[in-house]
């Protein structure tokens, strides 16, 4: 039941992100969900749903994986919406959180450049990530 409630909240958050036109990597969220759920299935618990050559898919492990993935996706969508609202929180903790969300916005604002090649080269990806981190580090005070 808690998984259904959580994914309902995620649906609402996704609709809000679309309404506010926030750039969200929907494909990466899908891969995150699939990855966490599959790794959660490696520790079977609960009612057996299906078995394939010794690999068991159980209800408890499936629910646990979907819940864990849902929490991460919910928090990512929530951070996107908090960034868009430009909330200013009072105090030192508020200043710190505003800086963290500012850095998060700068790091996620730019898409990974497409080089026109069919295969993504790991060198290009690592160089892009390094450039974004160096930019954030150098402009930390300005953010």
**For residue 105, what are the CA distances in angstroms to 10, 23, 57, 101, 125?**
20, 10, 38, 6, 19
pLDDT in tens, 14-25: 998 888 777 777
Neighbouring residues of 67: CB distance < 8 A, sequence distance ≥ 6:
2, 3, 6
pLDDT in tens, 56-110: 888 899 999 999 999 999 988 888 887 766 667 788 888 887 777 777 777 666 6
pTM for the structure as a whole: 0.65
Q: What is the mean pLDDT of residues 116-136?
A: 69
Name which of 70-79, 107-116, 123-132 the model is least confident about: 107-116
pLDDT given for residue 121 in this prediction:
64
């Amino acid at each position: 039941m808690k998984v259904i409630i959580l994914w309902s909240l995620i649906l609402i958050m996704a609709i809000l992100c679309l309404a506010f036109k926030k750039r969200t990597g929907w494909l990466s969220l899908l891969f995150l969900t699939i990855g966490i759920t599959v790794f959660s299935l490696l520790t079977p618990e609960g009612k057996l749903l299906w078995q394939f050559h010794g690999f068991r898919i159980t209800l408890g492990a499936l629910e646990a994986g979907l819940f864990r993935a849902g929490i991460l996706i919910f928090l990512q969508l929530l951070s996107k919406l908090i960034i868009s609202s430009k909330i200013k929180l009072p105090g030192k903790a508020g200043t710190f959180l505003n800086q963290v969300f500012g850095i998060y916005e700068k790091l996620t604002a730019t898409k990974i450049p497409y080089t026109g090649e069919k295969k993504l080269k790991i060198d290009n990806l690592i160089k892009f990530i390094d450039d974004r981190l160096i930019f954030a580090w150098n402009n930390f005070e300005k953010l």
